[in-house]
Structure 1
């Protein structure tokens, strides 16, 4: 691979995987755009990533040449569509080292994937013959953390309201790390499931999971990791992480919108009741009752996101061709560079870890007393795209005493020049509001 340019003053390593960032950027048509008369500087990949031609071409070709419904027809187009759809499932399974392709359930996003698990608990709690691991009621507990995205808070709040269970959570330290000091008292024999973000979408924190996993196994609870922000950026091995469920979403990893993944241990998926009823998820149907298909079909009622799944398979091919370790290292260098560069901006406060250890390429900050919406508007006028607001993580904003934050986030196509453009833009923001 061709080496990327390493900023002056940063450590030089010869034994890490690298790639040519300029060559990668050429695969993304949108990066040639101008915004408000300036070359586009896109620093919002934690929100959604851009799509390379290799993915866009596959998406277009599928609709143009292979469009048909899946698992319904014996004609040629139906067979091609089904093979492409199930082929994408196999690619995803290999990408995360799933023991079986049947453990990969296609959803529309991470939010739906988490809700499938939560509603499986809810449905099981109404059935006396349900697997005890999924039965939930008063006295039982669900554990999350204070740094979760709303998609990993609200479903569990609703589940606890429906069942009478209690929701508890890990707090966040002043440094933006998960506070595990109360682990033994928080995760107990009353805990039925622990659902945690792997990498925070607002703080950039990458949570160490081994101690929590060990405790979860001790008490016999289930464990879900929200990997929406980590699967796109680093190697993922579901066996190594010893989770029961892993969720992630396609549009943050060079794939299209409308497609996500729920991975679950095969025997757990087989024990879970369905959430949505309809076509394709059934075994038999009579007017009196129905029986249900084995996973993953049990959780994919109706016409699925076929073309989106095929394009996600192409995105996995693309990321694999570059190498997830190379992407991870590229972003590690970028993050170190960005933390140092942002530290030169007077009045700027970073939320979350301020060192490039145990954190990813997502940096949220405040610039003095300037409202993040004003920061974002001035940066946009300069072509620099960042996200502003509460980032679907309002409890984190509350924890740090601010109504909103500005967030810059990086990906495999981000350059140090773009970080320099951000810093220069922030200086312009200060001049406007000083």
Structure 2
């Protein structure tokens, strides 16, 4: 990055070691932000005392940031608390998408972090993809309910992120290669400091990078080292070192000094293929073992498609190797809230099932046909599925409660006619 002494996006100094008060002054010169991963995206970087916001404006900005943070937390926590987990996950993903869009279109300057070659637009795309990882599967679950499609979509997002990470690792390896760019002799003339905000939400800290002066085809150039550190810079002012210039930009300089990025590069190089393998597993292995969607014939008008319940899928959901479960078709007599506040679904055979949330009362209306999976010994209900959306494809005997209910009614009617 070309060094500009008049630029207020960073703080220039010839002091190698900063005192604690100087570090705090640099941090306080920035408008603080409380949005975790949004910090590095929406924070206003300025070290211009005159152009810096007034105290009142800073206070308003802090309050606004906390209000936005509270809204985001509420949008994630409240739906989860009332049982709408899908909406909670979707809202969490929308936060990432909004941050990525802002980062993609923002024009503010940004110094690359140590070890990464992602520019602001690439970083924005990366954050957007993280958001899509949370949002898209939830949309499919809420609107379509296709479990297999969710695995495929999630796998696709994993593969996309893995490809971007792998591409970034290849770019790092290329920049660190012995044949990359042109090597020139440069002189360290000082250091720039800027505030970095951790994506984990921890306190901000000051990062440093050397400023080098060198000759490039007879012209004197000054540029900031693309490798930054949160420690004291090892290069002394006045020291001459060999730096590398990017073939496409003579102001894009690289100097690792005594801190080569070998470990970081190895980690990044490993993460990319790992995400690709996870994505492939989701798309092919997990999707293969998930309930599939099968087409109905034209005569079946209650739904256009059904999901399959298999014995293996039910075994995994029950998650109890010793459990002996049974499956049957039941008819809902009524769904109601009892005196204890429980959401109850009562069947025509007199048995009951406790529902998780209030919205399930509408999901299972009176007269609805349900596939119920329960413990064969205790009668404990494990799960319920609407018959119109699911069909059982397994080897367990199916108990049809609808027939039992009809037989019971006929027996009672016959008994009532007996004098």
TM range (shorter): under 0.3
CA radius of gyration, larger in: 2
Comparing both chains, which one has the higher relative contact order based on Cα–Cα distances under 8 Å and sequence gaps of 6 or more?
A: 1
Structure with greater strand share of residues: 2
Query: Structure 1 length normalisation: TM-score?
Result: 0.22
Query: Structure 2 length normalisation: TM-score?
Result: 0.23
